[in-house]
């Protein structure tokens, strides 16, 4: 089970993680949460229903990773489609951010709930079906973010990025990207096999 998800009854999944893996996953999740942003809480005394109808931003984020997480609805740069993309973003981005925050919070909470039995021991993370889906969304967002920072493209599959020397400062990020990809693939296979 180490490093591979296995199916649990009821559609959940379990994976054995060591202390270092838990620490890395938690750190990456917290960083992703900071990148996505804290969310808008209604000001005390204001109508919380009004927050549901608040409009989001109409401009794409300038950060390439955020732009990848919250892409334009239309790639065409014509004035008409640029306007349609702005409208789409205005009415959907707040909900998308909320969903991504909820996925990352589910990861952080489940990692924080783990109790290692001894130093260096592996712990078994057990996820419900809903938690598994949240993890899948968060793993995907983590990979998109890291891949954007590394400037990974479709042409990079099996390319030089994967054969970096240990002295390259990007090497830890590449290893995290590959590890998260293996975790994500394992979780997808597990959820599909339990369906």
Poorest-pLDDT segment among 31-35, 57-61, 185-189: 57-61
Confidence of residue 62 (pLDDT cuts 50, 70, 90): confident
**pLDDT of 38-61, one tens digit each?**
765 555 666 665 555 566 666 778
In the sheet with 123-127, reading across from the earlier edge strand, the strands are 6-7, 13-17, 123-127
Locate the domains of the chain by residue range: 6-193
Burial of 5 (0-12, 13-18, 19+ CB in 10 A): buried
Mean pLDDT of 12-40: 91
Instruction: Work out the number of other CB atoms within 10 angstroms of the CB of residue 116.
Output: 13
Q: So what's the pLDDT on residue 46? A: 66
- Read off the pLDDT of residues 99-133 as tens digits, 9 standing for 90 and up: 999 999 999 999 999 986 656 678 999 999 999 99
């Amino acid at each position: 089970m180490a490093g591979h998800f296995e199916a649990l009854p009821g559609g959940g999944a379990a994976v054995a993680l060591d202390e270092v893996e838990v620490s890395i996953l938690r750190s990456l999740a917290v960083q992703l949460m900071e990148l996505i942003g804290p969310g808008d809480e209604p000001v005390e005394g204001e109508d919380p229903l009004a927050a549901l109808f608040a409009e989001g931003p109409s401009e794409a984020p300038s950060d390439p990773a955020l732009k990848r997480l919250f892409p334009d609805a239309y790639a065409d740069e014509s004035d008409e489609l640029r306007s349609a993309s702005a409208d789409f973003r205005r009415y959907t981005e707040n909900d998308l951010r909320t969903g991504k925050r909820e996925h990352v919070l589910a990861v952080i909470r489940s990692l924080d709930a783990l109790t290692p039995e001894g130093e260096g021991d592996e712990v078994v993370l057990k996820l419900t079906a809903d938690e598994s889906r949240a993890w899948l969304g968060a793993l995907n967002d983590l990979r998109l973010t890291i891949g954007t920072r590394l400037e990974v493209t479709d042409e990079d599959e099996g390319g030089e990025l994967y054969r970096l020397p240990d002295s390259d400062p990007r090497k830890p990020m590449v290893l995290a990207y590959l590890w998260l990809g293996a975790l994500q693939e394992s979780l997808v296979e597990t959820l599909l096999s339990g369906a």
